[in-house]
């Protein structure tokens, strides 16, 4: 039998020895420490990942990943229009990470009922709008139908506006627009949405883009902006820079054309800007970024507690095996082999804790993900339940990190005791 197999069998025998009055419950306590630490870490990471993804999806569903608009200093909801047929559109669509381009515009209005008046921002959309992203937010009714030949008179309002104005699906929504001359439109409510984000729910409603164009006396080619959806949020900065670079090329081309031909000076007077959703709503994404810091601090604290627990428990296990160490040394076992023996014991305890901890944590997370057992106040947290998303690479890293750290920490007392205990003293030890 090889040295490796001998130490492996010895480690199994020592762990199963029923004469170990003290170390047997200590082993269970050490396993419980690893289990609890790993459960806390996995749940913290899964909840944070889920919460961040939920907030991102809500913001992006209404506003996309990247937005192109007129480079105007006026940040109102009455944008300066530009032609949707831009020379850079083909370049953007050819980028493999750009999923879709959506055309939109906004218009400020007032909704009036018999006893209520509320300000509203109409967001005009067309057939390019990706309903698969936004559809999960519709809680009543159905999406808009904007594919007809005539401009649709349907409107999709938020649950917040629905409650304030006491309007439901099927009701008529009278909307007034303060302009010269003042105008009024009657829309039919076909759906009610809820994102849980006050920035949207308190003011936005979706209508046919052609309605906004008619209200502004624009032709069908003019839009207020282009929204860009990408396939991977982690690439938002990379793709955002790509879009910005193309917008700069367009601006240079516009300046060259206007300087070379004076007849274009009056017709091409705008410049476009591209902004990522992180730049449009910095306060939301800075707030989300704080979650990572909180989780890192929690993981560090939990790791320290786990290591201290394992170290103290492992000392007791080693002390109860002092006589065994003396006997093994008397039989000629070297210090390195004794160290390896106790690292086998430590590894078995840690692996047992990791297996139980993974099963327990994943079971808890799955129950929450499937049945939404823990509820939240959406007015405060933007979601109605604790969201869960499994981040497999991070879970694997947590397991590997706990295993490696514990082995490294436990190797120090194991080596010290194995080296400094003499066989005579160890055999007499009680």
Contact assessment for residue 251 and residue 29, using Cβ atoms and an 8 Å cutoff: no
Which CA distances in Å does 386 have to 51, 153, 371?
7, 37, 10
User: Which residues are CB-neighbours of 48 under 8 A, at least 6 positions away?
Assistant: 291, 292, 294, 295
Residue 66 has pLDDT above 60, yes or no: yes
The pLDDT value recorded for residue 14 is 62
| Average pLDDT of span 108-115 | 93
User: Which residues are CB-neighbours of 62 under 8 A, at least 6 positions away?
Assistant: 134, 195, 197, 200, 204
Residue 253 has pLDDT above 80, yes or no: no
Q: What angle do CA 364, 58, 290 make, to 5 degrees?
A: 65
Q: What would the pLDDT profile of 149-187 be if each residue is shown by its tens digit?
A: 999 999 999 999 999 999 999 999 999 999 888 999 999
Map residue 212 onto helix, strand or coil: helix
Flag the least confident range among 76-85, 168-177, 320-329: 320-329
Sign of the alpha-carbon torsion through 241, 242, 248, 251 = negative
User: Which residues are CB-neighbours of 109 under 8 A, at least 6 positions away?
Assistant: 119, 120, 121, 122, 175, 176, 177, 185
Q: Which residues pair with 207 in a beta bridge?
A: 124
| Average pLDDT of span 211-223 | 95
Q: What would the pLDDT profile of 29-48 be if each residue is shown by its tens digit?
A: 889 999 999 999 999 999 99
The pLDDT value recorded for residue 422 is 63
Joined tokens for residue 425: 């003293």
The pLDDT value recorded for residue 156 is 97
Q: Which residue has the higher pLDDT, 424 or 113?
A: 113
CA distance 292 to 280: 21
CA distance 310 to 429: 23
Joined tokens for residue 163: 């409650």
Across all residues in the chain, what is the average pLDDT?
Answer: 86
The pLDDT value recorded for residue 72 is 72
What is the dihedral angle through the alpha carbons of 321, 324, 329, 330, rounded to the nearest 10 degrees?
Answer: 150
Residue 263 has pLDDT above 60, yes or no: no
CA distance 190 to 153: 10
Q: Which residue has the higher pLDDT, 69 or 414?
A: 69
Nearest partner of 137 among 241, 70, 55, judged by Cα: 55
Joined tokens for residue 266: 């009056």
Residue 262 has pLDDT above 50, yes or no: no
Q: What would the pLDDT profile of 287-312 be if each residue is shown by its tens digit?
A: 888 998 999 999 999 999 999 999 88
Residue 266 has pLDDT above 60, yes or no: no
Number of Cβ within 10 Å of residue 169's Cβ equals 15
| Average pLDDT of span 231-251 | 86
Burial class (CB in 10 A: 0-12, 13-18, 19+), 158: buried
CA distance 309 to 245: 54
Terminal-residue alpha carbon distance, the chain:
31
The pLDDT value recorded for residue 7 is 60
Q: What would the pLDDT profile of 112-150 be if each residue is shown by its tens digit?
A: 998 899 999 999 999 999 998 898 899 999 999 999 999
Confidence of residue 10 (pLDDT cuts 50, 70, 90): low
Q: Which residue has the higher pLDDT, 392 or 2?
A: 392
Q: What angle do CA 199, 204, 210 make, to 5 degrees?
A: 145
Flag the least confident range among 103-117, 189-203, 290-304, 325-339: 325-339
331-359 burial code (b ≥16 CB/10 A, e <16)? eebebebbbbbbbbbbebbbebbbebbbe
Q: Residue holding tokens 């809820």?
A: 194
101-124 burial code (b ≥16 CB/10 A, e <16)? bbbbbbbebebeeeeeebebbbbb
The pLDDT value recorded for residue 315 is 80
Q: What would the pLDDT profile of 88-98 be if each residue is shown by its tens digit?
A: 999 999 999 99
Burial class (CB in 10 A: 0-12, 13-18, 19+), 167: buried
User: Which residues are CB-neighbours of 152 under 8 A, at least 6 positions away?
Assistant: 144, 145, 146, 207, 208, 210, 211
Confidence of residue 15 (pLDDT cuts 50, 70, 90): low
Say what the pTM is.
0.83
Confidence of residue 2 (pLDDT cuts 50, 70, 90): low
Q: Which DSSP category does 371 fall into?
A: H
Q: Domain residues of the chain, as ranges?
A: 3-59+285-428, 72-231
């Amino acid at each position: 039998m090889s040295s490796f197999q001998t130490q492996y069998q010895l480690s199994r025998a020592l762990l199963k020895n029923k004469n170990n009055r003290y170390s047997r419950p200590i082993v269970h306590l050490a396993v419980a420490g690893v289990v609890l630490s790993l459960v806390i870490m996995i749940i913290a990471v899964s909840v944070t990942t889920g919460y961040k993804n939920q907030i991102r999806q809500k913001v992006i569903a209404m506003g996309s990943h990247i937005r192109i608009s007129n480079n105007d200093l006026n940040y109102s909801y009455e944008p300066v229009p530009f032609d949707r047929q831009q020379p850079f559109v083909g370049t953007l669509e050819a980028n493999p990470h750009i999923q879709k381009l959506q055309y939109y515009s906004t218009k400020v209005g007032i909704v009036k009922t018999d006893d209520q008046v509320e300000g509203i921002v109409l967001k005009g959309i067309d057939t390019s709008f990706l309903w698969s992203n936004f559809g999960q937010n519709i809680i009543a009714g159905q999406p808009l139908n904007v594919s007809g030949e005539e401009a649709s008179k349907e409107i999709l309002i938020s649950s917040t506006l629905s409650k304030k104005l006491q309007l439901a699906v099927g009701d008529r929504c009278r909307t007034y627009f303060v302009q010269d001359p003042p105008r009024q439109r009657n829309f039919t409510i076909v759906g009610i949405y809820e994102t849980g984000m006050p920035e949207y729910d308190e003011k936005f409603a979706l209508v046919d883009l052609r309605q906004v164009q008619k209200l502004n006396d624009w032709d069908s080619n003019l839009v207020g902006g282009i929204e860009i959806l990408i396939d991977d949020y982690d690439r938002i900065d990379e793709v955002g820079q790509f879009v910005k670079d193309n917008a700069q090329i367009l601006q240079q081309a516009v300046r060259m054309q206007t300087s070379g031909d004076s007849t274009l000076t009056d017709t091409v007077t705008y410049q476009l800007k591209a902004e990522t959703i992180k730049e449009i709503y910095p306060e939301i994404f800075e707030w989300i970024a704080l979650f990572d810091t909180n989780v890192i601090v929690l993981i560090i604290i939990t790791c320290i507690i786990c290591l201290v627990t394992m170290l103290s428990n492992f000392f007791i296990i080693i002390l109860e095996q002092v006589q065994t160490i003396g006997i093994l040394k008397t039989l000629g076992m070297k210090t390195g082999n004794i160290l390896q023996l106790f690292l086998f014991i430590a590894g078995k305890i840690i692996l047992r804790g990791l297996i139980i901890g993974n099963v327990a944590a994943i079971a808890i997370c799955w129950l929450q993900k499937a049945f939404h057992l823990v509820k939240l106040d959406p007015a405060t947290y933007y979601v109605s339940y604790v969201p869960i998303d499994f981040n497999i690479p991070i879970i694997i890293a947590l397991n590997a990190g706990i295993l490696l750290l514990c082995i490294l920490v436990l190797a120090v007392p194991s080596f010290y005791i194995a080296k400094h205990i003499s066989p005579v003293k160890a055999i007499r030890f009680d």
